[in-house]
Structure 1
Amino acid sequence: MAIHRRHFALGAAASTLASPLHVLAQAGAFPNHPLRIVCPFAPGGGSDFMARTAAQILSERLGQPTIVENRPGAGGMLGTEYAVRTSPDGYTLLLVAGSYTVNPALYKLNFDPVKDIAPVIQLSRGAYVLCVNPKVPAKSLQELLDLARRQPGKLSFASAGTGSHLHIVTEYLFDMAKVKCTHVPYKGTGPAINDLLAGTVDMLFAGTEALMQHVKAGRLRALAVGTRQRLAAYPDIPSVAESGLPDYDVIAWHGLVAPRNVPPAIVARINAELNTGLRHKDLEARLEPTGVSAAGGTPEQFGALLQTEIVRYGKVVRDADIKPG
């Protein structure tokens, strides 16, 4: 009986040792067939652009095709829930954006947004800019907030939909300023911009890449950017922080995550290749005029961002009593 126990113990030890060796073997062979990036949003938008940018980098640097698979619906939840349930082998990645950190406070998820994923990398760092239709008399954020205080609920703001990241960051701004404005949700940023240009709504807080072309053409007035500092691309536009709300600091971002239990060596490999590709001068030159910059960094840094934003926007949703659209 003692011999059998000894053999059992040796077998268990061998099994334990085999696990990390198996992981290293997987990482060494990775990749040996095409990868895919699930983008839980429709083609053509900023999320799709960043997914395809990452796919191009990985295709070039890993020597295997990387395709983008668009699976839009339910504010990004359909594609997200699908991707986090796939095999944790590193061949399926998920493109995530700000909505990923808002949805846990709005919907009953079928997965844990922190425990069921392995952060890979933050791909981009962008900025939201608050723009008003020129008919609005405010020439600065302070003037806009003063106007809103004198006429609670009269000024209207558009968003890409109830519970969208644009909706949440705008409510966050107004809650911090202690003002009340009327929310007008749209099915996407495009329709919201169209009605802002027409004067149907008074303001919109959205990405610089979507709004600044209209500011330059004189069709909209930019009052402030959401990042703590001014943007190098638009140095004349003050930040919300310097306009009287020093604690306001919001970025627009995209990143990649994988299903949990992906071997750490594979995550590290993907992270390293993307960090190198994101520093390419051609990409920097292409992004800079939009106010968006390549991010990069470690998986741990991106994981910390996700956790911080989930907590912050969960509080905004509860304080503003926001319900799903």
Structure 2
Amino acid sequence: MFRRAVLGCLSAFVALAAHAADYPVKPIRVIVPYAAGGADLYIRPLQEKLQAALGQPLVIENVGGGGGAVGAAKAARSEADGYTLLFAGTGAIITAPRLTGASYTWRDFAPVANVVAIPFTWVVRQDSPIDSFARLLELGRSRPGTLSYASPGHGTSTQMGADAILAAGGAAVTEIPYQGGAPALSAVLGGHVDAMIGAPSIVMPQVEAGTLRALAVTGPARFAPTPDVPAVGEFGVDVHVVANYGFFAPRGTPEAIVRRLAGAIQAAVADPAYVATMRKGYNDVAFLGPQDYTSAVQEEDRYFGGLMDQAGVGAAP
């Protein structure tokens, strides 16, 4: 019996090795766990180069719902054969499962490659008396709880990071949660809240149009696509939040396949035309390979998990 079990394991290993050597031999599905026109815009410009490098079509499938949890769960349940991937922000595999009670965690995935890294941006209406992030902090300290800010959802990495930044600055600003960045943007434009925090791709077009004023970005330094906007660290806040978006494979995907995918992605994102496209949309390319990406996800899980535990939001996986 033991000999048969060993032979079975060896046969499975040989089959996986052969599969990895031939990979890919059919189209590769990429699940994006958000509505169309969101994070899929980060990878649609990569399709042609990735298809040429891999020799197979790349089929992008948007599966929204649950802050990314619905699509991420579907990807986690897929065969670990390299033919179903997830492209998502790490919030979809870190904060979303805690908020929704989903059965998966980030450990059900093998990080393949990070593609873009995006700090969030604090904004106010152009006619607001809040003319700087320093002023927002000052008012949040002197008049705690009287100012409000719009977030794209309570318990999201955006909101968690916002409250951590405000706390580090000694300010109390009331969060008003909305169901996504677009309604949060409408709220600040309509004067229903005093400020907003959101992705640069959502808020910066309004800044350029002169309807909003950018106060600060949440990264550790100024953001290359918006160099005139200061970082929160310039106001004495030592808390930084950056959203990473990248490719994941189901756990158990052969390492050779993960490396093959990562190599093709690294070459594709290095294309100057892709970098320019991302910069034009207020995004920045930040490639990380499997090992570094895994470390980054582990650190995000530690950081955001700690914030959620402190705030009593969600359930630990």
TM-score > 0.5, shorter chain as reference: yes
Report the counterpart of residue 136 of structure 1 in structure 2: 128
Among all aligned residue pairs of Structure 1 and Structure 2, give the percentage whose two residues are the same amino acid. Answer: 32
Tell me how far 1:223 sits from its aligned partner: 1.0
Report the counterpart of residue 313 of structure 1 in structure 2: 304
Report the counterpart of residue 155 of structure 2 in structure 1: 163
Report the counterpart of residue 267 of structure 1 in structure 2: 258
The 8 Å contact of residues 37 and 51 in structure 1, kept in 2 or not, is answered as no
What is the 5 A alignment of 1:258-297? Answer: 258-297=249-288
Tell me how far 1:249 sits from its aligned partner: 1.8
Aligned Cα RMSD in Å?
A: 2.1
What is the 5 A alignment of 1:1-325? Answer: 18-45=11-38, 47-100=39-92, 101-114=94-107, 116-245=108-237, 247-322=238-313
1-side partners of 2:9 and 2:190: how far apart?
66
1:87-134: CA deviations, max 9, x gaps?
1100000112142222244342312322x1111110111221111123
The 8 Å contact of residues 66 and 96 in structure 2, kept in 1 or not, is answered as no
Gaps of 5+ in 2: none
3-state DSSP of counterpart to 2:106: coil
The 8 Å contact of residues 39 and 68 in structure 1, kept in 2 or not, is answered as yes
Tell me how far 1:177 sits from its aligned partner: 2.0
- TM-score (normalizing by structure 2): 0.92
Tell me how far 1:17 sits from its aligned partner: 5.1
2-side partners of 1:294 and 1:180: how far apart?
33
Q: Which runs of 4+ in 1 moved over 3 A?
A: 11-21, 53-57, 321-324
2-side partners of 1:261 and 1:54: how far apart?
25
The 8 Å contact of residues 85 and 247 in structure 2, kept in 1 or not, is answered as yes
Tell me how far 1:274 sits from its aligned partner: 0.5
The 8 Å contact of residues 151 and 159 in structure 2, kept in 1 or not, is answered as yes
Larger radius of gyration: 1
- TM-score (normalizing by structure 1): 0.89
Aligned residue identity for 1:25: A
The 8 Å contact of residues 23 and 265 in structure 1, kept in 2 or not, is answered as no
1-side partners of 2:59 and 2:119: how far apart?
27
Gaps of 5+ in 1: none
Structure 1 residues 183, 257: CA separation in 2 closer, same or farther (over 3 Å shift)?
A: same
2-side partners of 1:95 and 1:54: how far apart?
12
3-state DSSP of counterpart to 1:295: strand
Aligned residue identity for 2:68: G
1:245-297: CA deviations, max 9, x gaps?
1x222112211111111111011100100000010111011111333122222
2-side partners of 1:229 and 1:149: how far apart?
24
